[in-house]
Structure 1
Amino acid sequence: MNILFLMKYYSLGGVEMVTNVLASRFLDNGCRVSIVSFIEPSNEILCRKDSRIIYYLLSGFNTSKKNIDQLRNILIEEKIDIVINQWGLPYVPIYVLKKASKGLSLKIFSVHHNSPKTNGRLKDIEIAMSETNNKFCALILCMKKVLTYYVTSYSMWYVYQKSDKYILLSDSYIREFLSFTRVKKATKLVVITNPITIPYIEEYEKILSYKRKEIIYVGRIDYNQKRVYRVIEVWKLLEKKYPDWKLIIIGDGEEKSKLEEQSFQLGLKRIVFEGFKNPLEYYKYASLLILTSEYEGFPLVIPEGMAWGVVPCVYGSYSAVYDIVKDDVNGIIIEPQKDEFDAENMAERMSLLMCDNVRLKLMAKAAKQMSNQYSLDVVSDSWYKLFV
């Protein structure tokens, strides 16, 4: 079986890491795998790419005849049976793919890696609307939001119509997808989660022996989605009460320097900004993981941390998190209060674990057990059932 992953870009991100892990597994099982991206890749992701994967670069993110011809040549040369379109929202990839594959016998599976009902563009407009006091600007932004909503909805509907199957990351996203796109029947919808992309060990007792009094945040540092300033607000309520604990921020982004300044102004002493690092060593030693995103698709940091016995403390702003985290069993979920994040509630719930090591260990064990559902074996088997 010959498989091609179609990417908008190929850089160091969650979708790309998932692609690399799945590609290597498919290769191990005798498939031939290619990756094609529209935009030039980063050196970091190329260094992490399995050397057996064949990589191709198209000529920019557009619907040009040159791109169509290039992709068609690749499909024919590699004798592609299945294309996994990793960008199930934009119009460009599926349009180019359908033109390039005309007359060829192959299947197209498109994947949407986020919550269907929101995205970065819509959230940017909402943020701008909340910050303006100008009635005219507010009106323009409202119109822009409506237009963006319908363009996004149509684009997602178009990709669905042109695909053989459309993959969502959670059962809860099916209803959101149908409502957002106004697709009448869910005959093409399939739910397959993303797999854990990091190595881990199975022995829970050994994992337990590594643990320190550390809380970690892992991910991009931005305002639109991740809202890491909320993590700082929670830590401000915990630091003095728990002098033997510390908070480690692993990640980078446009808000990093601002949050470092915020932490300094608040007089926080036991907070460390590590920048962009491989999170594996941090999962190994951490006891708690905190995630306060405004929206997500399927944040891999949660099951990957759970695989290392890290108890997740998360903001329940998106439905998929309730698939992964069972509140007070294998983690903590703070539900929105009038669509707002409650830092005090998060701090109180985390505090109950930080002062009760027995309970913390029980939840860590349950988290470890839950992570088995997202192993590469389980997820790749789901893909093979789809291929057949």
Structure 2
Amino acid sequence: MNNSKIDFFLIDHTPVGGVERVGCDLINLFLSNGIDVDYLITQHNDYEKPHFPYPKEIKYINLDCSTADLEERLYESFLNLKIKKLIFAGDNMSISIALLKAAKRAGVIAIPQYHGSPHAYLDKYISLRDMLGNPYLFFKYLVAKSFRPFKLLKLKKYLLLAEHGVACVSQGSADEIKKLYKNSRAIIDRVFTIYNPLHLGLDRIDCNINEKNNTIVYLSRLEEKHKNSFLAIKAWNEIAHKYPNWELHILGDGSISEKMKGYVADNKLTNVVFYGMVKDVASHLSKSKISILTSNCEGLGMGVLESICYKNAIVSTLSNGGIIDLVEDQISGLLVPRNDYKAFAQSMEKIMNNEQLRIKYVNESYKILSKFSDDGIISEWKKRFNL
């Protein structure tokens, strides 16, 4: 048996999503560096074919089962497939607990890759302004607060079951977990950070910082809650009329896409372009000057990381998770309090009106990319699995 072999589990590897993309990138990175990956196990598949280019040699095992049956099905699979080392997407508490129990029974070294922020699980992102406008949201907020202690216990159970450690994709998320359980040395000692592979080939990126268009890019799923996407056009509405020579390009699709388009139409915003789901993100990032992120929480924010690679200045909300791994406020970009669309608009304006400041932020942010080297990421995973 090859000791340099690590297999993978994703809840579903077929959708367009950050977790699925990172899983695909990491599998490809392992294979290109002499680490075998035989199996990708999934709980279910929503689509016939995966969106991302997983290697052809990978064997897919679709358990097609409920979460209630998952522990037993995984245990049987681990034994039958002789799996000994496993990386899995560890953001869903119930699924992660079932997997860790199965792994312990089967003698599998299983390490969760924690893609989010613990606050995405624990908290409701409902602002005071939202509650004042809709009293029902105040009720939802109170219910969420009452369930929080139970969620903290479930998250603690998950973290203690992960006896081989929890790989957070950002230092920001790792620090949040450690702060929540600051009195538990067992949890603090097993939480660490391994960044997602960038896998872009920076030396091959053709992008001239001085030859970009007056374009702002918003790259994200268009969703409420964690993504808070509506803030992007609400902030743009504050200043769009003053900058007819600038455009906001929205790359992505989601549940509030039509709501956002309706808002743009109602406010007669002619300098907003919706592109939907875009495969060739590079062509947009290479031509734009600024990238924005409006999230309430992001494990790392791969769209921001890609934007930095293509020399875009960053304006982002100060979200929970890993934005602080990528942007230092007023040093390498601008960070704005969550839900403050007026401050967000002012921050965009600040960069739009100051070319020298834009270039300063771009040059400073580019320095962080050394943290995302393929060699460093491979080395960290090998260390964790004693390869």
**TM-score using structure 1 length:** 0.86
The equivalences for 1:10-159 within 5 A come to 10=13, 11-33=15-37, 34-43=39-48, 45=50, 48-64=53-69, 67-68=70-71, 70-99=73-102, 102-104=105-107, 106-119=108-121, 122-123=124-125, 132-133=134-135, 142-147=142-147, 149-159=148-158
* Matched residue count: 377
Task: State the partner residue of 2:270.
Answer: 269
* Alignment-mate amino acid for residue 254 of structure 1: S
CA contact (8 A) 2:176 2:321 kept: no
- After superposition, the C-alpha distances for 1:269-303 in whole angstroms (9 at most, x for unaligned) are 11001011122221121110011112222111111
Alpha-carbon distance between aligned partners in 2 of 1:386 and 1:60, rounded to the nearest angstrom: 30
Alpha-carbon distance between aligned partners in 2 of 1:314 and 1:368, rounded to the nearest angstrom: 16
The structure-2 alpha-carbon separation of the partners of 1:328 and 1:48, relative to structure 1 and needing over 3 Å to count, comes to: same
The structure-2 alpha-carbon separation of the partners of 1:100 and 1:367, relative to structure 1 and needing over 3 Å to count, comes to: closer
The structure-2 alpha-carbon separation of the partners of 1:70 and 1:178, relative to structure 1 and needing over 3 Å to count, comes to: same
Alpha-carbon distance between aligned partners in 2 of 1:131 and 1:3, rounded to the nearest angstrom: 50
Task: State the partner residue of 2:166.
Answer: 166
- What 5-or-longer segments of structure 2 have no aligned partner? none
1:354 aligned onto 2:352 = yes
Alpha-carbon distance between aligned partners in 1 of 2:128 and 2:110, rounded to the nearest angstrom: 33
How far has the Cα of 1:143 moved from its partner? 4.0
How far has the Cα of 1:87 moved from its partner? 1.8
How far has the Cα of 1:138 moved from its partner? 5.6
Match of 1:344 among 342, 345, 368: 342
Q: Which is further off, 354-363 or 157-166?
A: 354-363
The structure-2 alpha-carbon separation of the partners of 1:383 and 1:140, relative to structure 1 and needing over 3 Å to count, comes to: closer
The structure-2 alpha-carbon separation of the partners of 1:350 and 1:223, relative to structure 1 and needing over 3 Å to count, comes to: same
* Alignment-mate amino acid for residue 371 of structure 1: L
How far has the Cα of 1:181 moved from its partner? 5.1
Task: State the partner residue of 1:255.
Answer: 256
Task: State the partner residue of 1:235.
Answer: 236
The structure-2 alpha-carbon separation of the partners of 1:55 and 1:207, relative to structure 1 and needing over 3 Å to count, comes to: farther
Match of 2:193 among 188, 191, 215: 191
CA contact (8 A) 2:123 2:144 kept: no
Q: Which is further off, 41-50 or 358-367?
A: 41-50
1:293 aligned onto 2:319 = no
How far has the Cα of 1:356 moved from its partner? 2.6
Q: Which is further off, 216-225 or 82-91?
A: 82-91
Q: Which is further off, 24-33 or 352-361?
A: 352-361
Alpha-carbon distance between aligned partners in 2 of 1:8 and 1:283, rounded to the nearest angstrom: 30
Q: Which SS does the other structure have where 1:160 is aligned?
A: helix
How far has the Cα of 1:169 moved from its partner? 2.9
The structure-2 alpha-carbon separation of the partners of 1:150 and 1:30, relative to structure 1 and needing over 3 Å to count, comes to: same
CA contact (8 A) 1:157 1:183 kept: no
1:202 aligned onto 2:200 = no
Alpha-carbon distance between aligned partners in 2 of 1:77 and 1:103, rounded to the nearest angstrom: 10
Alpha-carbon distance between aligned partners in 2 of 1:25 and 1:140, rounded to the nearest angstrom: 43
Alpha-carbon distance between aligned partners in 2 of 1:138 and 1:354, rounded to the nearest angstrom: 37
Q: Which SS does the other structure have where 2:110 is aligned?
A: strand
CA contact (8 A) 1:314 1:333 kept: yes
The structure-2 alpha-carbon separation of the partners of 1:358 and 1:138, relative to structure 1 and needing over 3 Å to count, comes to: closer
Task: State the partner residue of 1:384.
Answer: 382
Q: Which is further off, 10-19 or 69-78?
A: 69-78
What is the percent sequence identity of the aligned residues? 20
What do you get for the CA RMSD once the two structures are aligned?
2.9
The structure-2 alpha-carbon separation of the partners of 1:125 and 1:312, relative to structure 1 and needing over 3 Å to count, comes to: closer
Q: Which SS does the other structure have where 2:351 is aligned?
A: helix
How far has the Cα of 1:188 moved from its partner? 1.1
CA contact (8 A) 1:8 1:87 kept: no
The structure-2 alpha-carbon separation of the partners of 1:234 and 1:38, relative to structure 1 and needing over 3 Å to count, comes to: same
Q: Which SS does the other structure have where 1:267 is aligned?
A: coil
CA contact (8 A) 2:79 2:106 kept: no
CA contact (8 A) 2:249 2:275 kept: yes
**TM-score using structure 2 length:** 0.87
- After superposition, the C-alpha distances for 1:143-196 in whole angstroms (9 at most, x for unaligned) are 45422x234222222221222111223333344324545761112111122222
Q: Which is further off, 314-323 or 43-52?
A: 43-52
Alpha-carbon distance between aligned partners in 2 of 1:154 and 1:87, rounded to the nearest angstrom: 16
CA contact (8 A) 1:309 1:368 kept: yes
The structure-2 alpha-carbon separation of the partners of 1:114 and 1:103, relative to structure 1 and needing over 3 Å to count, comes to: closer
Q: Which SS does the other structure have where 1:84 is aligned?
A: strand
Task: State the partner residue of 2:215.
Answer: 214
How far has the Cα of 1:316 moved from its partner? 0.8
How far has the Cα of 1:218 moved from its partner? 0.5
